[in-house]
Chain A
Amino acid sequence: MSTRLQSGGRLIDRTKQIEFNWNGKRLNGFQGDTLASALLANDQMLMGRSFKYHRPRGVVAAGPEEPNALMGTGEDGRFEPNQRATTTEIYQGLKSHSQNHWPSLEFDVGAINTKLSRFFPAGFYYKTFMAPSFAWKHVFEPIIRKSAGLGKAPTHKDEDSYEYFYAHVDVVVAGGGIAGLQAALTAGQAGATVLLMEQAVDYGGRAITDGVTIGGKPAAAWIKSTLAALKKLPNVQMRTRMMAAGVYDHGYLLGYERLTDHMGPSDGPRQRLWRIRAKRIVTATGAIERPLSFAGNDIPGVMLAGAVRDYIADYGVSVGDRTVVVTNNDDGYRTAIALHEAGLNVPCIIDPRGDLDGELPAKAIALGIRVENKSAIGKVKGGKRVEAVTLCAQAGEGATLEEIKCDAVAMSGGWSPVVHLWSHCGGKLNWDADTAMFRPDPARPPLGADGTGFVIATGTANGHLDAAAALKDGHAAGMTAAKEVGYKPARAAAPLAASEREAAMMPVWSMPQGASYELKSKTFLDYQNDVKVSDVRLAAQEGYESVEHTKRYTTLGMATDQGKLSNINGLAVLADSLNADIPNVGTTTFRPPYHPISLGSIAGDAHNELFKPIRKTPMHQWIDENGGDWEPVADWRRPYCYKQGSESVEDAVTREILNTRENCGLLDASTLGKIIVKGPDAGKFLDMMYTNMMSTLKVGHCRYGLMCSENGFLSDDGVVARLDENTFLCHTTSGGSDRIHAHMEEWLQTEWWDWKVYTANTTEQYAQIAVVGPNARKVLEKLGGMDVSAEALPFMTFKDGELGGIKARPYRISFSGELSYEIAVPASQGQAFWDMCMEAGKEFGIQPYGTECLHVMRAEKGFIMIGDETDGTVIPQDLGLNWAISKKKEDFLGKRGQQRSHMTDPNRWKLVGLKTVDPAKVIPDGAYAVDGTMRENGMHNMIGRVTSTYFSPTLNHSIAMGLVLNGPDRMGEVIDFPTIGGESIKAEICDPVFLDKEGARQNV
C-alpha cells in the first residue's frame, strides 16, 4: 500500500493539515502536497481510467509529464477538467474527482473495452467507420461521442479572472534547476536583465533529491546561497509556478504564471499570461524519465523510478512497501537506495545490463539489496494494483524464472532532455546513440530577427545528465547569453558539482528482448491513449513509415501529455519495426504549449465588460436612459429605436417614421466619419478617391460622393463639404471612418507621396445631430444664433455659426428626404446641444429616432446603404449611380476595374424598386427571385435578390430594393420570391424612389 512516511517531505508542512474532497470522500493532506501525493498518502493508487480501454491507471510521474492521473477540479464556474494530480496543489476545501469512468472509478463498465482490445487495434476508427456513409452520423458518431473524451467540458461561465503581462528582457531562463540558476546568475552578474521562471513551487530541480553536492556542500546549501545572490541583483527577476509555455518567432515567449491555483478562489487574477520579448532564451528545462516497455507496465503501482523517490523526498510518501526497481541505467539505483534508506523493502533490482560497475550499483549491493543483471520483467501481475512481477532473462522471450511479490514497480528507461522549447521555433536535434536521447544541435538553433540563434539549451535539457557537466553548462549558457546581448561577463569558473559516477546505460526498447505478441499487446507506450507496442508494429506493417503518419494512425503521443513519456519509446519501436535507425525515423513536431494552458489565460482580461471595446457617442447615456434599443454598428452602439413605455420595437419604429415625416425627428449621427483633407493637392487627391469630381465643389457647398476599391467595387459613400479653398471634410459611413482614413493615408504615403495633402480623422471631435422633418427649421430658429433660412442656408450647403450658444456647423443634407440639418457641435457639448433641441422642439413634436427609422426613410427615398445594397461585389453602375461617376476625369480608383469585361456585362444584376403585390407582405431579407426555370442540378435559376426590405408606414405599403437581372428594363413586371415556408411573394419591379421623386420635401 502507499502511505505517508513518519518523516521527510521537504515540500510539505506537517503542521498544516489540509482537508480536501476527492470523489465525494473527505481526505486529509498537508500544506504543500499535490493532489497526487495526498492521494498516495491516503493509499489511493488508482487515480483514473485510460482513454480507450478504460483500464485502471495509477499515477506514474510526479510532474507535468503525468499521463494518467487527470482530475476534474473545482465546481461550477471554477470547474476545470483534465488537471494533472501531480501539478495540482491541494488547498483547504479543494473539490476534485477522477474522470473517464462510469459508474465509478472502482467499477467501470467501459473496462469491457480492454477485453475487446484485440478488436480495437491501431487505426480501428479509420478502418471500422468507413461505410456505410449514413452510419457515421447516425450510429457511430453518437456512440463515440458519448464514450470519448477524458474530462467533461465545463458548463458554467468561468468565474475567474486572468490577465496578460508584457515584458522585455535580455535573457529568459526557463527552468530553475541548478543549471538554470547558474545561467541566470552568470548572465545577471554580467549585467543583463534576466527573468528566471520555474514551473514548480521551488528551485533546484532534481539536485536536492538526487544528492548532488556543489562545492563540497549539499546542493540545497548552494541553491539557497545562489537564490540569495540572485535576489540581490536588481536586474534579475525570479518567478515560481511559472512555466515557459512556448517559444515563437523573434524571441517571443509565452510565460504561464499560476497565481492562485494553489490557494483556491482568491482576490485578483487566477493566472497571468506573460508575453515576453527576450533577446536570448536559455532553456534549462531538465529531462523526463522514460518508462520501460514490459507487459503490464500500466498497472497501478508501476511508476517512474525518479517519481518514486520524489514522493519520498518531496512529500514523505511511500508508494509501496515492497518495490521492485527495474532500470537500464545507474540512476534507477538511486530510487532503490532512497527506498532502502526510508526503511522500505526493495526485493530486487532488475537490470538488463551485464556489467554493473558504477558507484550506485555498488552502493546498492553494499546495502544488501538483491540485484539481478541481464534480467528483465516478464510481466507485471495485478489488476487495480501491482501484486507481483515475473523475473526473466532480458535476452529471452520471457520465460518466468521466478515470481517476485511486490506492490510497486519503479522503472527507469533512461532520460530524455526536455527539448520542446528548443524545438518550438525550429531548433533541430541530434540523436545521441550512447545515451539514447535526442539532444539540441547547437549548430542548428532557432533563428531570430537578425539571423542568429536565440535559444540556448543548457544543463540536462542539453543532454548533460551528470550534475557536474550540467552546472558547468549552465554557467557557459549564462556567459554566452550575456555576451550575445552585449555584456562582458567576468571570467570565472563554474562551481563544481559532484554526484556518483554513473556507468553507461543500455538502450532497451522491449523487455524482454524477444517478447511474444501476447506480451507486446499488454506493453503500453502511450498510457493516456492506450497505444501499445503491438499497435506501432501493426502500423509499420501496414505501411505507415513516416513517424508523423504513425502518430496519427495510432494516436501515439496525441494525448494531452503530447507524448512526453511515450515519444522516444514509440519511435524506437517504429524504427525497429522498419529496420531503420532512430534518427532516420525522426521525431514528430514539437508544438507549443509545452504543457496545456487554460483558455482563460489566453483570453486574458477580454471578458465580461472588457470583452470587446464598444464605441460610445456623447449622447450614449441619454439614449440608454430614454428607451434606446441598442444595436451594434461596427464597434459603435446605436439605438435601433427608442421604445416608449410598453411599446413594441415595430410600433416604436412606425411612430418614429411618421413623426419625423409629419413633425420633427432627432437623430444621433455622431458615428459618421469626418475626415479632414487639406492641402494644395487636396482637390486632385479627392478626384482620385471618389468616382465623382470633387475638385470643382464650391466652398461652402456639399456633394454626395462614392468611393471604390481599385477593383471597382463600391466601398464607401458620404457627403463631402468644402471648408475652404484647400480644405475638404469627407463624411464616411459609421463603420468606415477608420478604414477610409487609413485608405487615404495609404495612397498618400505609398503612391502619391509627392502630393501636398494632409488628412486628419476628426470623427470624434464632433457630436453630429440631425434635426429632421417639416418642423426642423422652426426648432433651430427657436435655438437662435444663426440664420438657417432656405436663403441663407440652401440645400447642400453648410455654414459655421452658433446655435443656442454652442459653436455649430449645420449641413443642409438629407438622408430622409425631409427638410434636414445635420449639425456638428463639439463632442463635449453634444449632450447639451441635444438637450436644447429636445427642449426647443417640444412644441414642434420633436422625438428622437433610431437607425431603423433612418433605414426605412432612406429606402422610401431609394437611397442606397453601404452594406445593404453593396456587399463588396457591387459596382456603382449596378446601383444606377452612373450620375455620380465622372466621365471627365482621366482616372480615379476603380475606374480601370470598372472597365473589365465582367463589370461591363449587360447581364449584371441592377438595382430596382420592388413593390409587393400584397401590400402587407414584406419580402424576407436576402430573398432571391426565381423565374421558374431549373438548373441541371435541380436548383432554381436565380434572377435577383433583395437588398433592403421594409414596411413603409409613410406609404402604408411594403417596399424593397433589389438587384435584378435586366431589372431597369423590366419595369412593371411581377417576379417571384420563394420564401423558406414554401410560399412565394410576388413583387412588381418599379423605380427605387418610392417617395417624393422631385425632392420637394427636402428642398424647402
Chain B
Amino acid sequence: MSNAVSAMNGASFKGSVTIKDTGLQGMITLRGDFKSAVVAKALKTATGTAMPETGQILHSAKGSAAWMSPDELLLLVDYTKVDAIIAKLDKALSGEHALVINVSDARAMFEIKGAATRDILAKGSPADMSKEGLPVGVMRRSRLGQLAVAFWMDDEKTAHMVCFRSVGEHVFMWLKNASEKGSLPKYYT
C-alpha cells in the first residue's frame, strides 16, 4: 500500500486556524442493531469502545466509534488494519443481520486546529457551534457550505471533519478561504 494516497495527500494551510489533510485513515461503516449484545461485543473488539449513545463519538487507544444514525456507526481505525478488523467483525457478526464495509478510501479527513476553530466552522454549517451546541464528544453530521460533512471537537481548539473523497479538495479550499486573513468573525473566540 506504499502507493496509496489520501484525497489531499497531506496538504496543509495555516491561516486563522491550521487545516491539515490527516492522511490515510481507516474507516469502516457498521450497520446493525445497536441493542444487540453481539454487535456491542464485536464493536468493542474492533475499536475498544463501548456502543456510542445517540450523536456521540467515543475514542480509545485502538480507535473511535461515531454514531451516524440509529443503525449506522463509523469506526475509525488504523488504515493498515482495516481488512483484518473487517474480517474479525464479519466473523463475529456472522449470525447477525449487519453490514460491515470498508469506506476508508471513500472519505477525506481534515484536522482544523486553533482557537478560532468554532468560528471557522460556523461560517459554513447551520449547526450550533457553541460549546453547548457542540460539546467535545459529539459527532455532528451537517452541511459545510454546499456539502455534506461530519465533524466533532477533540478539544476546544481542535476539530476533525470527514467528507466524501471526491469533494475533499473543495472542502479543503473552503476551509482555507474561511481562514484567510481579515475574515475572523471573533464570535466564539
Interface residues of A (CB under 8 A from B): 161, 163-168, 193, 237, 266-269, 272, 275, 277, 605-606, 609-610, 612-618, 636, 676, 678-680, 756, 758-760, 762-766, 806, 826-829, 831-832
B61 beta carbon closer than 8 Å to chain A: no
A826 to B80 Cα, complex, angstroms: 13
| Given A237-B187, A766-B105, also A605-B165 (CB < 8 A) | no
Question: Among B47-55, B127-135, B151-159, which stretch is in contact with chain A?
Answer: B127-135
B97 at the interface (CB under 8 A from A): yes
Are B101 and A764 interface neighbours, CB within 8 A? no
A193 to chain B: which residues have CB within 8 Å? Answer: 130
**Distance between Cα atoms of A268 and B125 in the complex (Å):** 19
Q: Which of B24, B32, B101, B173 contacts A762 (CB 8 A)?
A: B101
A605–B170 CB distance below 8 A: no
Partner of B145, one of A237, A605, A760: A605
Is B185 among interface residues, defined by CB-CB distance under 8 A? yes
In the assembled complex, 16 residue pairs joining A and B whose CB atoms fall closer than 8 Å, in A order, are A161-B183, A168-B128, A606-B146, A609-B173, A613-B146, A615-B166, A616-B167, A758-B32, A759-B99, A760-B101, A762-B106, A764-B105, A765-B102, A826-B105, A827-B106, A829-B3
Query: Is residue B122 contacting chain A, with contact meaning CB distance below 8 A?
Result: yes
Residues of B near A606 (CB, < 8 A) are 145-146
Number of interface residues of B (CB under 8 A): 50
Taking the closest CB of chain A, its distance from the CB of B163, in whole angstroms, is 10
Closest 10 CB pairs of A and B: A268-B182, A267-B182, A832-B3, A615-B166, A827-B105, A828-B4, A758-B99, A764-B106, A765-B106, A168-B128
Q: Which residues on B sit within 8 Å (CB–CB) of A676?
A: 99, 101
Task: Knowing A615-B166, A680-B97, A760-B29, say if A610 contacts B182 (CB, 8 Å).
Answer: no
Residues from chain A with Cβ under 8 Å of B106 in the complex = 762-765, 827
On whether the beta carbons of A168 and B97 are closer than 8 Å, the reply is: no
B126, A678: Cβ atoms closer than 8 Å = no
Which residues of chain B are within 8 angstroms of A618 by Cβ–Cβ distance? 165
B185 near A272: Cβ-Cβ < 8 Å: yes
Q: Besides the contacts A764-B164, A828-B1, what 13 more A-B pairs have beta carbons closer than 8 Å?
A: A165-B185, A165-B187, A168-B128, A237-B187, A614-B170, A678-B99, A679-B97, A758-B97, A759-B99, A764-B105, A806-B3, A828-B24, A829-B4
CB-CB under 8 A for A760 and B167, given A766-B105, A827-B105: no
The residues of A that contact B185 with a CB separation of less than 8 Å are 165, 272
Determine the chain A residues whose CB is within 8 A of the CB of B44 once the complex forms: none
Q: A609 to chain B: which residues have CB within 8 Å?
A: 173
Task: Kindly list chain A residues whose C-beta atoms are within 8 Å of the C-beta of B177.
Answer: 161, 605, 610
Contact partners of A762 in chain B: CB under 8 A: 101-103, 106
Nearest-neighbor residue (CB-CB) of B147 within chain A: A613
Complex interface: chain B residues within 8 A of A759 (CB):
99
* A-side interface mostly: mixed
Give Cα A615 to B170, complex, Å.
Answer: 8
A279 CB, nearest partner CB in chain B, Å: 12
CA distance A277 to B105 in the complex (A): 36
Whole-angstrom distance from the CB of A260 to the nearest CB of chain B? 8
Q: Answer whether A610 and B122 are a contact pair too, CB < 8 Å, given A766-B105, A826-B105.
A: no
B102 contacts A268, C-beta separation under 8 Å: no
Cβ contact within 8 Å between A758 and B98: yes
Q: Are A164 and B124 in contact (CB under 8 A)?
A: yes
Q: Is the CB of B123 closer than 8 A to any CB of chain A?
A: yes
- What is the minimal beta-carbon distance from B18 to any residue of chain A, in angstroms? 18
What is the CB-to-nearest-CB distance from A241 to chain B, in angstroms, rounded to a whole number?
A: 13
Name B71's closest neighbour in chain A (CB-CB).
A758
- The B98-113 residues at the A interface (CB cut-off 8 A) are 98-99, 101-107
Provided the pairs A167-B187, A267-B182, A268-B181 are in contact, do residues A613 and B122 lie with their beta carbons within 8 angstroms?
Answer: no
Interface pair A166/B182, CB less than 8 Å apart: no
Binding site for A on B (CB under 8 A): 1, 3-6, 24, 29, 31-32, 71, 97-99, 101-107, 122-130, 133, 145-147, 164-167, 169-170, 173-174, 177-178, 180-185, 187
| CB closest residue in chain A, given B2 | A832
CA distance A439 to B186 in the complex (A): 36
When C-beta atoms are compared, the residue in chain B nearest to A833 turns out to be B3
**B interface: dominant SS:** loop
On whether A756 and B97 interact (CB within 8 A), knowing A165-B123, A166-B123, A167-B122, the answer reads yes
Asked whether B178 lies within 8 Å of A605 as measured between CB atoms, the reply is: yes
The complex places the Cα of A277 from the Cα of B185 at a distance, in Å, of 17
Contact A827–B99 (Cβ < 8 Å): no
Contacts of A237 in B (CB 8 A): 187
Contacts A610-B145, A610-B173, A765-B102: A267 and B5 contacting too (C-beta < 8 A)? no
Q: Would B167 and A615 count as touching, CB distance under 8 A?
A: yes
Once A168-B133, A760-B29 are accepted as A-B contacts, the answer to whether A610 and B4 lie under 8 Å apart by CB is: no
Q: Which residue of A lies closest to B164 (CB)?
A: A764
By a CB distance below 8 angstroms, the chain B residues around A832 are 3-4
Please indicate the chain B residues that have their CB under 8 angstroms from the CB of A164 in the complex: 123-124
Q: Are B166 and A636 in contact (CB under 8 A)?
A: yes
Interchain CA distance A612-B177 in the complex, whole Å: 14
- List the B residue with the shortest CB-CB distance to A260: B182
Q: Which of A168, A267, A614 contacts B181 (CB 8 A)?
A: A267
**A766 surroundings in chain B (CB, below 8 A):** 105
> Given A617-B166, A676-B101, A760-B29, is A828 in contact with B6 using a C-beta cutoff of 8 Å?
yes
Give the shortest distance, in Å, between A104 (CB) and chain B (any CB). 38
Query: Complex formed: what's the CA distance from A161 to B187 in Å?
Result: 19
Distance in angstroms between the alpha carbons of A266 and B183 in the assembled complex: 10
Question: In the complex, how many angstroms separate the beta carbon of A438 from the nearest chain B beta carbon?
Answer: 34
Residue of B nearest to A763 (CB): B106
Chain A residues with CB below 8 A from B31, complex form: 758, 760
Indicate which residue in B5, B123, B167, B184 contacts A828 across the interface (CB closer than 8 Å): B5
Task: Tell me the minimal C-beta distance from A21 to chain B in angstroms.
Answer: 25
Q: Which residues of A contact B1 (CB under 8 A)?
A: 828-829
B166 touches which of A166, A756, A758, A764 (Cβ 8 Å): A764
Is the pair B167, A613 in contact by a Cβ cutoff of 8 Å? yes
* C-alpha spacing A193/B125, complex, angstroms: 19
Q: How far is the CA of A676 from the CA of B167 in the complex (A)?
A: 21
Nearest to B128 among chain A residues (CB) is A168
Nearest-Cβ distance from residue B169 to partner chain A, whole angstroms: 6
Output the nearest chain A residue to B174 by Cβ-Cβ distance.
A610
Which B residue's beta carbon lies closest to that of A830?
B105
Flag if A269 contacts B145 (CB, 8 Å): no
Q: How far is the CA of A996 from the CA of B184 in the complex (A)?
A: 63
Minimum distance in angstroms from B39 CB to a CB of chain A:
12
Known: A168-B128, A764-B164, A832-B4. A163 touches B187 (CB 8 A): no
Contact B101 A166 (CB under 8 A): no
When C-beta atoms are compared, the residue in chain B nearest to A764 turns out to be B106
Q: Is there an interface contact between A828 and B104, defined as CB atoms closer than 8 Å?
A: yes
A678 CB → nearest B CB, Å: 5
Which B residues are CB-close (under 8 A) to A765?
101-106
Q: Which residues of chain A are within 8 angstroms of B184 by Cβ–Cβ distance? A: 268
Whole-angstrom distance between the Cβ of B122 and the nearest chain A Cβ: 5
Known contacts A612-B146, A613-B146, A765-B104, A163 near B123 by CB under 8 Å: yes
Q: CB-nearest residue of chain B relative to A611?
A: B146
Residues of B within 8 A of A163 (CB): 123, 178, 183
Q: Which of B1, B98, B104 has the most CB of A within 10 A?
A: B1
Q: In the complex, what distance in Å separates the CA atom of A765 from the CA atom of B106? A: 4
Q: How far is the CA of A267 from the CA of B103 in the complex (A)?
A: 40
Residue in B closest to A765 when the chains form the complex, CB atoms: B106
Give Cα A488 to B163, complex, Å. 42
Residues of B within 8 A of A678 (CB): 99
> In the assembled complex, which residues on chain A have CB atoms less than 8 Å from the CB atom of B182?
266-269
A611 to chain B, nearest CB (A): 9
Query: In the complex, what distance in Å separates the CA atom of A610 from the CA atom of B71?
Result: 33
